[in-house]
C-alpha cells in the first residue's frame, strides 16, 4: 500500500481541508458513499413510515445482521444491533442477576463509561467492582495476564476485558486472559469498541460469553452502529436495556425492535464493509494504518525524548506517546484545546499513571506529514 494513501483517499470523507484529524478512534468518520446509503434508507423510511417500519425494516434488518455476521464469522442468530458498545455492556450487566458479595472484575485500563455502569450495578445489587491494576507503560502481555489472574477469586462473577483499551491503545492478550478466566469458570464480557475494522475478527473463536463492538469507529459505519454477540448458551437471560414488544421472542428478535428509532446506521453496515474494497481492500488498509501508527509513534517519541506506551505487538492503528515533562502539570484537556485553537489539530491527551499521554489514530485518510505538524506544534 503506497505511503501516500492518506492523501489519495481523503476526498472520500467529509473532513474539512483545513484540519488535521488524528482522533479517528473517538467517534470514527464516515465516508461519503456510506452516508449516501444511510440517507437512501432514511428517505425510504420517510416516504411511508408505517410501510417502512412494518413491511420493509424487518427483512432489511435481517439482511444487515447477516452481512455483519459474515464479517464477524458469526451466526446471525447470535447478534443483536445496539447503538454503541457501551449500550452492549449495559444490556449484559443489567440482564445478569448479581447478588451482594458478587464481584465484577475490570482493569485499570478499562473505559470509564463501562466502569460507571459497574458502579450503577453496585448501587442496585450490592455486587462490588474489583480493579486489576495493569502497569503502564507496558513491556509485554505477561503483566496484563498476571494482574487479572491476581484478582480472580471465588466471588468473581463476571470479568470485563477490553479487546483494545481506549486510554492506552493496547491490544489485550485475550486468548490468555479468557483462558485464565474460564479455568476459574468465570463469565467473560469483552468490550471490543475499537476492534471491528482494526482487527481481523472471528468473534465466536475468541471464547468469550459476551462480545460487543462498534462499527462506527474503525469500520467507518454511521454513528450509532454497534453490535452485541452472545454465546448461544448464554442468550436466554440477556435482554436489551429497553424492553418492547418482542420480549420473550428470542435474543435477536428482542434486539431488532426496542421502539421507534432510525435504524439507517445499522442498515448501512453492508455498504460500510463493501466501501473498503473501493480503496484497496480492508487487509491492505489495516496494514497501512498499523504501519503509519508505528512510524508516527516512533517519530514523535524520538523527537520529544519520551517513549511509547506499549510495544509494537500490542498496537494496532492507535498508539500512545508520552508528552515531554513540561506538560506533566498542565490540565489534560487544555492541551488538545490549544492544539485545536492554534493549529486545527484534533488529538486527545490524558494523564495516565501520573504522566501526560497523547493518543494518535492512524486512519486511511491520514499521512505522516500530519504527525510531523503535531510533533512541531508540541515542540514550539
- Residue 1 scores a pLDDT above 70: no
Phi, psi of 149 (to 5 degrees): -60, -35
In this predicted structure, the answer to whether residue 319 has a pLDDT above a threshold of 80 is yes
pTM of the model: 0.97
Reported as a single tens digit per residue, the pLDDT across 260-310 is: 999 999 999 999 999 999 999 999 999 999 999 999 999 999 999 999 999
With H, G, I as helix, E, B as strand and everything else as coil, classify residue 104: strand
The confidence score (pLDDT) of residue 2 equals 53
pLDDT of residue 380: 73
State the span(s) of the chain assigned CATH 3.40.640.10: 47-273
Q: Determine the average pLDDT of the residues in 244-258.
A: 94
pLDDT at 314 over 60: yes
The CATH 3.90.1150.10 portion of the chain extends over 5-29+280-379
Q: Looking at the DSSP assignment, which residues form a beta bridge with residue 281?
A: none
For the chain, the average pLDDT equals 96
- Residue 365 corresponds to which cell in the numbers above? 485518510
Cα of 10 vs its chain's centroid, Å = 22
Compute the average pLDDT of residues 29-51.
Answer: 98
User: For 86-126, what is each residue's pLDDT tens digit?
Assistant: 999 999 999 999 999 999 999 999 999 999 999 999 999 99
With a CB cutoff of 8 Å and minimum separation 6, the contacts of 311 are: 138, 139, 140
5-29+280-379 folds as 3.90.1150
| Average pLDDT over every residue of 137-143 | 96
**Mean pLDDT, residues 169-194:** 97
Run of H or E residues at 113: helix 112-125
Name the band, by pLDDT with cuts 50, 70 and 90, for residue 4.
Answer: confident
Q: Residue 215 above 90 pLDDT?
A: yes
Provide the pLDDT confidence category of residue 332 given band limits of 50, 70 and 90.
confident
Encode burial over 146-166: b for 16+ CB neighbours within 10 A, e otherwise: ebbeebbeeebbbbbbbbbbb
Highest CATH level, class, for 47-273: alpha beta
Structure confidence at residue 6 (pLDDT): 87
Whether pLDDT at 3 is above 90? no
Q: What percent of the chain has pLDDT over 90?
A: 97
Amino acid at each position: 500500500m503506497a505511503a501516500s494513501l492518506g492523501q489519495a483517499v481523503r476526498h472520500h470523507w467529509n473532513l474539512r481541508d483545513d484540519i488535521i484529524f488524528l482522533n479517528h478512534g473517538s467517534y470514527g468518520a464516515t465516508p461519503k458513499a456510506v452516508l449516501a446509503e444511510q440517507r437512501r434508507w432514511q428517505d425510504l423510511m420517510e416516504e411511508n413510515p408505517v410501510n417502512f417500519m412494518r413491511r420493509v425494516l424487518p427483512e432489511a434488518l435481517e439482511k444487515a445482521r447477516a452481512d455483519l455476521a459474515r464479517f464477524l464469522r458469526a451466526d446471525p442468530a447470535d447478534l443483536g444491533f445496539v447503538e454503541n458498545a457501551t449500550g452492549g455492556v449495559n444490556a449484559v450487566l443489567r440482564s445478569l442477576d448479581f447478588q451482594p458479595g458478587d464481584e465484577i472484575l475490570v482493569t485499570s485500563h478499562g473505559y470509564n463509561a463501562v466502569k460507571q455502569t459497574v458502579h450503577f450495578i453496585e448501587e442496585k445489587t450490592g455486587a462490588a467492582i474489583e480493579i486489576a491494576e495493569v502497569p503502564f507503560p507496558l513491556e509485554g502481555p505477561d503483566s496484563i495476564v498476571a494482574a487479572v489472574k491476581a484478582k480472580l477469586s471465588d466471588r468473581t462473577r463476571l470479568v470485563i476485558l477490553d479487546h483494545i483499551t481506549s486510554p492506552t491503545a493496547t491490544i489485550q492478550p485475550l486468548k490468555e486472559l479468557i483462558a485464565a478466566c474460564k479455568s476459574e469458570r468465570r463469565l467473560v464480557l469483552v468490550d471490543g469498541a475499537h476492534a471491528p475494522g482494526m482487527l481481523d475478527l472471528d468473534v465466536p473463536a475468541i471464547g468469550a460469553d459476551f462480545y460487543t463492538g462498534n462499527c462506527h469507529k474503525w469500520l467507518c459505519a454511521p454513528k450509532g452502529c454497534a453490535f452485541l454477540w452472545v454465546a448461544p448458551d448464554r442468550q436466554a437471560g440477556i435482554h436489551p436495556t429497553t424492553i418492547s414488544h418482542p420480549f420473550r421472542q428470542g435474543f435477536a428478535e428482542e434486539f431488532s425492535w426496542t421502539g421507534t428509532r432510525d435504524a439507517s446506521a445499522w442498515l448501512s453496515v453492508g455498504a460500510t464493509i463493501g466501501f473498503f474494497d473501493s480503496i484497496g481492500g480492508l487487509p491492505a488498509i489495516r496494514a497501512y494504518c498499523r504501519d503509519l501508527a508505528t512510524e508516527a509513534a516512533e517519530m514523535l517519541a524520538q523527537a520529544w525524548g519520551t517513549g511509547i506506551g506499549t510495544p509494537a505487538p500490542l498496537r494496532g492503528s492507535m498508539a500512545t506517546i508520552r508528552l515531554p515533562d513540561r506538560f506533566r502539570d498542565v490540565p489534560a484537556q487544555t492541551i488538545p484545546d490549544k492544539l485545536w485553537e492554534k493549529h486545527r489539530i484534533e488529538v486527545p491527551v490524558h494523564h495516565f499513571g501520573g504522566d501526560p499521554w497523547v493518543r494518535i489514530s492512524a486512519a486511511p485518510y491520514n499521512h505522516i506529514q500530519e504527525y510531523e505538524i503535531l510533533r512541531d506544534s508540541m515542540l514550539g
